[in-house]
A and B are shown apart, each in its own frame.
Chain A
């Protein structure tokens, strides 16, 4: 099923920013600095297991349960 990556990214950003638009933007930048460019993924993006694993690892670092 494609689209898992953007689903995880959106969830991570939503939880971490808690509806604050400024924190949403900051969290996107933090992800980019960690090597995840949210703009590259859509609901039809392939489910690359390496990227999915990386997002889970980042979510753990950022204290977000996905």
Chain B
């Protein structure tokens, strides 16, 4: 049986879930992943989804926009149902972000459900999916701690709330949580891979954070000078215009040839604050944008050439990319890139892959 997806734009949780359930009536899922607009009451939507799929592991989160096969949506719920052909084993649990030891404990417990120690989980056989409160500022710590004790890939996204920035939610087995993350350990029954694309080019303009407030995600100085001055100089712009370029000219932490994007979003005095932590003395490179649709098209085509037909894809797409696509009136074009295979996803407040990043799309695909 193929992976199936469904969506509903009905505004009432029960009606929306009934529509989802009806579209997936021929599926006997072992896992259901859903992404729901914050217009739905968190408790009601989570509970209704679990009631609709009592035999499945049901995991989800709130969003800043949804993605389903061929479409980008707003104020909807999207869901993917996976059967035992695609999911040989699955286990999920809640990470309490107020408890420093919680990520490791959850990773150990989930690995034990597969009879393994965390470090012994085979990277070719297992993958982790994480959905995390997008307003917690906790992504780096969780990803770092999980990365310390796991070799498997952890991919996912930070929950959103339609750019209201009030409260975001993660869902597991009928309950709703905030200041929490849901870690799901998956043993797929088919092959899997990942796509990471950020649609930026490197510029070779280097900014070294020489004075930072790591916890607050702030940079006071680049290259030993006030952060706003150096960022403006790198752009060749007056200092008072830099905030107009934050979305299109973020900076990248370069690993190999791959940028891990850190997005600036506000100025306070001469300091710049980011949606991601920045390490002192670690070089960052100014990035310049390329067309999101064309770049994503290339990434998908390259993956299809590598793996053949994609059976299903989960897209964690940054909400700032969605804003740029909306401004360019390219949401339909972007959605259409995902027409040929079952897709769900959402507009995120941050993307996870090895670590936490911004302005990126991380995608988990089955083939």
Contact = CB atoms under 8 A, between A and B. Distances in A.
Contact of B281 (A28, A30, A35): A35
Contact of B282 (A20, A25, A28, A35): A35
Contacts of A33: 140, 144, 147, 253, 260, 279, 354-355
B119 interface: yes
B237 interface: no
Nearest to A40: B283
B355 A29 contact: yes
B261 to A, nearest CB: 13
Interface residues of A, number: 17
A63 interface: yes
A8 B153 CA distance: 24
A45 interface: no
Interface in A12-51: 16, 20, 22-23, 25-26, 28-30, 32-35, 37
Interface in B125-148: 140, 144, 147-148
Contacts of A61: 148
A66 interface: no
Contacts, number: 47
Interface residues of B, number: 21
Contacts of B144: 30, 33-34
A35 B119 contact: no
A46 to B, nearest CB: 15
Nearest to A35: B279
Nearest to A62: B148
Given A23-B123, A25-B256, A35-B281, A30 B147 contact: yes
B148 A37 contact: no
A63 B355 contact: no
25 contacts: A20-B123, A22-B123, A25-B255, A25-B256, A26-B151, A26-B354, A28-B255, A29-B258, A29-B354, A30-B144, A30-B148, A32-B253, A32-B255, A32-B282, A33-B140, A33-B354, A34-B279, A35-B279, A35-B281, A35-B282, A37-B282, A37-B283, A61-B148, A63-B119, A63-B149
Interface of A: 16, 20, 22-23, 25-26, 28-30, 32-35, 37, 61-63
